[in-house]
Amino acid sequence: MSSTNLLGVPETRLPAEPAVVADLETLTTAEVVTAHPTSSLAWALLSDEAAARGADLEAYAYARVGYHRGLDALRKAGWRGQGPVPWSHEPNRGVLRSLFALRRGASAIGEVDEVERLTTFLGDADPSVLPTLEAQAG
């Protein structure tokens, strides 16, 4: 449990996705999403690609799917809407990246309330996520 976990809620740790990671080495991101449609990591990467080419609405839509797939995975792993989702546990990074991508997409289309909500969600999940992903994106 992290020192900032004041609620005493156990960390949520998602299972690894070795097939997704392996396919990312040999397939296009769209092919990985097609092969693994429940992977929030694959959807986050597809959102990143769309954002990089300036397709903000498409990036937002991909991130929204990744967000919902991530919520499904978190709930399946025992998450009850609160508590830490540590970035340090690599399998959690897909859902956290989807949340970050959705926040980026919401900002791009002017959805201010969603940006604020996702900022809070990410900070509550793991305070290191936003600085880490913003540094990577910067």
What's residue 2's pLDDT?
41
| 69/11 Cα distance (integer angstroms) | 19
pLDDT, tens only, 70-129: 999 999 999 999 999 999 999 999 999 999 999 999 999 999 999 999 999 999 999 999
- 20: tokens are 């997704």
pLDDT, tens only, 41-52: 999 999 999 999
Is residue 78 a part of any domain in this protein?
yes
What's residue 6's pLDDT?
52
Is residue 8 a part of any domain in this protein?
no
The number of domains in the chain is: 1
Q: In the structure, what pLDDT confidence band is assigned to residue 3 with cuts at 50, 70 and 90?
A: very low
Q: In the structure, what pLDDT confidence band is assigned to residue 54 with cuts at 50, 70 and 90?
A: very high
| 95/100 Cα distance (integer angstroms) | 9
**Do 97 and 122 meet the contact criterion of CB atoms below 8 Å apart?**
no
- 64: tokens are 């929204």
pTM over the 0.75 mark: yes
Is residue 63 a part of any domain in this protein?
yes
Residue 39 has pLDDT above 70, yes or no: yes
Interval 51-76 mean pLDDT: 97
Q: In the structure, what pLDDT confidence band is assigned to residue 137 with cuts at 50, 70 and 90?
A: confident
| 77/114 Cα distance (integer angstroms) | 25
What's residue 7's pLDDT?
59
**Which has the closest alpha carbon to 96: 63, 54, 62, 60?**
63
What domain range includes position 121?
29-137
CA dist list (Å): 19 to 29, 45, 46, 121: 13, 15, 17, 28
